[in-house]
Amino acid sequence: MEEWEEVEIQAVSDGLDASPSELHAAFEISGDHLAEVRDRHTMMLVTSGELPESHMADIAPERRLDWMVKELNGNIHSDGLTIPLHGATKDSIQLSRGELDGHSILKLQVGEFVRKLPIPAESGSIDASLSDGILNIKW
């Protein structure tokens, strides 16, 4: 009678059984050179946007105000602006007025969030109120 001894078969992965997302993640982890490329790309994007923004701030500060208020989902009125700040308390909102490069600036700080809004030079006193989560600023 013949005796048979069982032989264990080991599964050897040749990489073809991995999903594309696993292979992509492994490539990104092992690719140290990609971090430098990403950093340089981000630096290029930031610096390329600085020139047009600073030029627009010099020639048309009111357009910059429009962009910033729209970014905050607010509205500009002839005598001020409104910005929704739902969830923010009156104590967490700081508003201050100053001057930067000869332009009147209103600095809005909500916790860690800070925006410097250019306001018209002819604006007099600033009145601000928080009503139902909406910040009303009038000049």
Question: What's the pLDDT tens digit per position in 116-139?
Answer: 888 887 777 888 999 888 999 998
Rounded to the nearest 10 degrees, what angle do helices 61-71 and 33-59 cross at?
130
Q: Which residues contact 19 (CB under 8 A, 6 or more apart)?
A: none
- Residue 83 is predicted with a pLDDT of 92
Q: Of 119, 127, 67, which Cα lies nearest the Cα of 98? A: 119
Question: What's the pLDDT tens digit per position in 23-71?
Answer: 777 777 776 777 788 788 878 877 776 666 666 666 666 667 787 788 8
State how far the Cα of 105 lies from the Cα of 119, in Å rounded to an integer.
6
pTM: 0.54
Question: What's the pLDDT tens digit per position in 66-114?
Answer: 877 888 889 988 888 999 998 888 889 999 988 877 778 888 999 888 8
Question: What's the pLDDT tens digit per position in 1-24?
Answer: 577 777 776 655 556 677 777 777
Is 119 in contact with 106 (CB distance < 8 Å)? yes
Q: Which domains does the chain show, CATH number per domain? A: 9-59 (no CATH), 61-138 (2.60.40)
Q: SS3 for 80?
A: strand
Is 96 in contact with 129 (CB distance < 8 Å)? no
**One-letter amino acid of 102:** G
Question: What's the pLDDT tens digit per position in 112-121?
Answer: 888 888 888 7
- How are beta strands 134-138 and 127-131 bridged, if at all? antiparallel
Q: Which residues of 18-39 are buried (b: 16+ CB within 10 A; e: fewer)?
A: eeeeeeeeeeeeeeeeeeeeee
